[in-house]
Structure 1
Amino acid sequence: MNDLLYRMTFNVLKDIGFGQANEEVEDGASKLGGSLTIIGPTNPAPWILRMAFALFPGVWNIPHWFKFLEMTQGIVMKRLSSQPESVDIASFFLEDAQRKEADMISREAVGGDCGVILLAGSDLTRDSTSGPSLILLFYCLARWPEHAEKIRQELRNVDYNDMAALSALPHLTATINESLRLYPAGPTFGSRVTGPEGLNCDGVFIPGGTKVVAPRWSTGRQAYEAAHEFIPERWYSKPELVKDKRAFAPFSMGRNSCGGKKVAMSQMRLAVAVLVSKYSIRFAPGTTDEMSVENDMRDQLTPLPGDLKLVFEKLE
């Protein structure tokens, strides 16, 4: 399931971002995935990454990063020479570049915007967020099939092509939220620096200029009753199971929150609705450790789940 969902989400991103679906999907996802194996471990200290780029350009997975940059430049150049039938995300920053005099906007800068969309704004790629989030969501549906059945009942007489109708289904949205609570798209991502006056946190003084982070992985297991249990109902019919609503921020919050939130949620709702309404979902025969998806997961800026092997059996 991993590669299938990675390719699907990467393809969607290229379509809505640059009007370039169905082109070099597998190769592009591979380059993006390889690049993030570098960014993840060095995220707390990006100066290490800059030093590695300058001194060791051919070592480890660093070549993946440069290949990724080449890919983004190719995507931008192809987009500049074409005009998609519908408005894509690239339309907005290309128009902005033209307003600011195109000659002053380097190809590298526009390519950087392209990379940001693929890496972060998407929520949709191999080691960005929707790819892993979809894998972990289907893992939850296979592990707790009663929730797939509840969603199936909600979907009766609902057109799953109607995004507004899907967003109104409480158990569908709650199941996605519960999966994001337990398996956040950025488990330990989102560091900040304390102000010059420092910060007093629960009786502990943190000096000014100190890098701090509140890991979503930890808050997702501390700010809830029965925190280690998968209970989607806590998000609509059992609010007493949520100790502090502020702890749930899977897409961050404020002006720096994820701009692709609605796209990501729509994609996850649609993927679940289409598959759950047509198929039953279970772990593949021979799966000796159902929790390997979770136990083998790595944190590399965004999560990299273990292999998920499922069987989709067509419903009568």
Structure 2
Amino acid sequence: MTDLGFSIHTGQQDGKGDGTYMSFIHRYMSFISVAGSLRNLTQLLGLLPETEDIRIFRKKGKAMLTQRQNFTSPQKDIFHHLLAEDSESGTKFTQKELNSNAQLVIIAGTDTTVSVVIQTVKKLANSPEIYRRLQNEVDELYNRGQSITIETVRNLEYLNGVVNEALRLYAPTPSGTYATTYPQGLDVDGVHIPGNVQVDIPFLALMRDERYFVRGDEFIPERWTSERPELLKDKRAFIPFGYGVHACVGKTLALHELRLVLSLIAHNFNLRIGPSHEEDLYNSQWRDHAVLQVGRLWMSFEPRSPSRDG
């Protein structure tokens, strides 16, 4: 995300970056998730001393923003647009607004996609029939003389079924997002909710609800294909990226990432849960800190033979 957001390469994917980077993000989010859930607490935070983790994380964000402001990137990264004037009003973001957006860019696209990939890979390793079918669909691209790109995998039906089912069951923001009711309030299923009240429907509960998804706790990619449409009762309940004007701005990017990563894994590797994996420990480390943090997963990625035998 630092490359996409700031055109700055931190070496995280090469294994050469700062190893404390992700731990700072996790500790920062553990605090923010609590603060954001308590009404009016955020109004008091400015009066309280910052914790060391928050101070370090904000310092990293500011340093990255300052570095980006001091050079012109050859690529149109996210801050290419955020640093520019609005074409209609001629206004620009303030430095305070830019600092806030810098922190958001670092967090929003990092743990979210990672948590979905981790849980999906684990599920595929335990679902050999589903995984083999995904492998066959991706392999067919190469049989037609194509390779894995954003465009070639965009419309793979079974792959999209796997991605949608992963997002439904493993939403990266399990608690969803808050909204405030209209001043006049509203009535929901015979219950009146007063005006100016924060309300929330957890995505984790909504997208497993049997009223909308038959066998809602099961991983069934076919519900999103032409094979088992009867398992999808009401698609409106599928909102892993939120909805309306406040829906996730990175939705398209996240879908591209998930399709590409899962396609590349399926084409190149067979999967097994690693011998060192501890399921109880994995489950106990699961945390909902606004953005989901999953436990430590040990996996075995076994290169497939040239014949692509399973």
TM-score normalised per structure 1: 0.85
For 1:266, the aligned partner's letter is H
Question: Over residues 165-184 of structure 1, what are the superposed CA-to-partner deviations in whole Å (9 max), with x where a residue is unaligned?
Answer: 11111111111111111121
> Which piece of structure 1 moves more, 157-166 or 109-118?
157-166
5+ long unaligned stretches in structure 1 = 1-12
- Aligned-partner residue type, residue 314 of structure 1: P
Against the structure 1 CA distance between its residues 164 and 225, is the aligned structure 2 distance closer, same or farther, given a 3 Å change threshold? same
Partner SS for 1:26? coil
**Shift of the alpha carbon at 1:287?**
3.0
Mapped partners of 2:223, 2:114: distance in 1: 25
The answer to whether the 8 Å contact 1:196/1:209 transfers is: yes
**Higher helix content, 1 or 2:** 1
TM-superposition CA deviations, 1:259-307 (whole Å, max 9, x none): 1111111111111111221111110014342x75455411110111111
Residue 260 of structure 1: aligned partner = 250
- Could you tell me how far 1:235 is from its partner in structure 2? 0.6
Q: Is the 8 A contact 2:149 2:260 kept in 1?
A: no
Offset from partner CA, 1:174-205 (integer Å, 9 cap, x none): 11111111121111121112112222111112
Of residues 298, 302, 307, the one that matches 1:313 is 302
Q: Is the 8 A contact 2:120 2:166 kept in 1?
A: yes
Alpha-carbon distance change, 83 to 161 in structure 1, aligned in 2, over 3 angstroms = farther
91-100 or 132-141, which deviates more: 91-100
**Partner of residue 271 from structure 1, selected from 253, 261, 264:** 261
**Range moving further from structure 2, 172-181 or 44-53:** 44-53
Matches of 2:97 and 2:26 in 1, distance apart?
21
Offset from partner CA, 1:74-117 (integer Å, 9 cap, x none): 11111112222321111001112798577xx5433222221122
Tell me, in whole angstroms, the C-alpha distance in 2 between the residues paired with 1:17 and 1:263: 12
Q: CA deviation at 1:154?
A: 0.7
Determine the structure 2 residue equivalent to 1:27.
Answer: 20
Moved over 6 A (4+): none
Aligned residues: 292
Task: Provide the C-alpha distance between the structure 2 equivalents of 1:21 and 1:146, rounded to a whole number of angstroms.
Answer: 38
Deviations 1:5-43 (A, max 9, x none): xxxxxxxx1111111123445333232222101111222
Mapped to 2, the partners of 1:261 and 1:90 lie a distance apart of: 18
Superposed displacement of residue 46, structure 1 = 5.5
Alignment of 1:170-209 (within 5 A): 170-209=157-196
Q: Is 1:16 aligned with 2:4? A: yes
Partner of 2:308: none
Does the Cα contact within 8 Å between 2:26 and 2:293 map onto a contact in 1? Answer: no
Find the aligned partners of 1:141 and 1:119 in 2 and give their Cα distance: 26
